[in-house]
A = this chain, B = another copy of it.
Amino acid sequence: MAQLQKSIDKRTALLKATLTLVNNGGIQGASMAKIAKIAAVSPATIYLFFQSKQDLVSQLYLTVKSSFAEAAFSDYNLQESVEVRFKKIWFNMAHYKLTHREEASFLSQCDNTPMIDELTRQEGLEFLTPLFDLWVKGKEDCIFKDISPYLMYAYSIYPMAFLMNMKNRGLCPLDEKTLQESFQAAWDSIKV
């Protein structure tokens, strides 16, 4: 079935084109016409794979979020201590954001756009379940403060997005030293 493969390739090309375009002009800057041109298909062809622009963006969101989570938990090992597990996840996330600039920036943009509905966003969050479970465990063990997961996320994960943003604008270097300081700040903010 070479035909099936061609379809998959086209779908992938469309997602990739969207990712690229959103990256240099925002979601509104990624018009269906431009997406089609970059993916080398007709605008009409997009609608053979996606119901609408919103569907296209949502599917891309879930795809990218999934790959982000996969990277975050790539070497996840339930045998290890809470501290080690959190540190691994944190640096995996940082590494992903550093090596997948477009994907990271896209996910950031998705946090604010009305293009992605609450349901899809919820679906995306579920990829991070192991992290939330870890926080629960860490609280039980009195390693983490007894605060809501929203606070945990806001202070230990979310700041990475800001730093990435600054780095991409050429305002703040993210070398190894800065990364270590950043992790320390994240850890200090949630550790008991």
Contacts and interface: CB of A to CB of B under 8 A. Distances in A.
Interface of A: 25-26, 28-29, 108-109, 111-114, 118, 145, 147-148, 150-151, 153-155, 158-160, 162-163, 165-166, 169, 171-172, 178, 181-182, 184-186, 188-191
16 contacts: A26-B112, A28-B28, A111-B165, A145-B181, A145-B184, A148-B172, A148-B178, A150-B166, A151-B181, A154-B182, A154-B185, A155-B159, A155-B186, A155-B189, A158-B158, A158-B162
Nearest to A169: B118
A26 B147 contact: no
A25 B178 contact: no
B150 A154 contact: no
Copies of this chain, complex-wide, total 2
A181 B154 CA distance: 12
A108 B162 CA distance: 11
Contacts of A145: 181, 184-185
A112 B118 contact: no
Contact of A163 (B29, B151, B171): B151
Contact of A151 (B29, B111, B185): B185
B112 A112 contact: yes
A26 B159 contact: no
Contacts of A188: 188-189, 191
Contact of A159 (B29, B108, B154): B154
B166 A178 contact: no
A29 B114 contact: yes
A51 to B, nearest CB: 21
Contacts of A148: 172, 178
Contacts of A108: 112
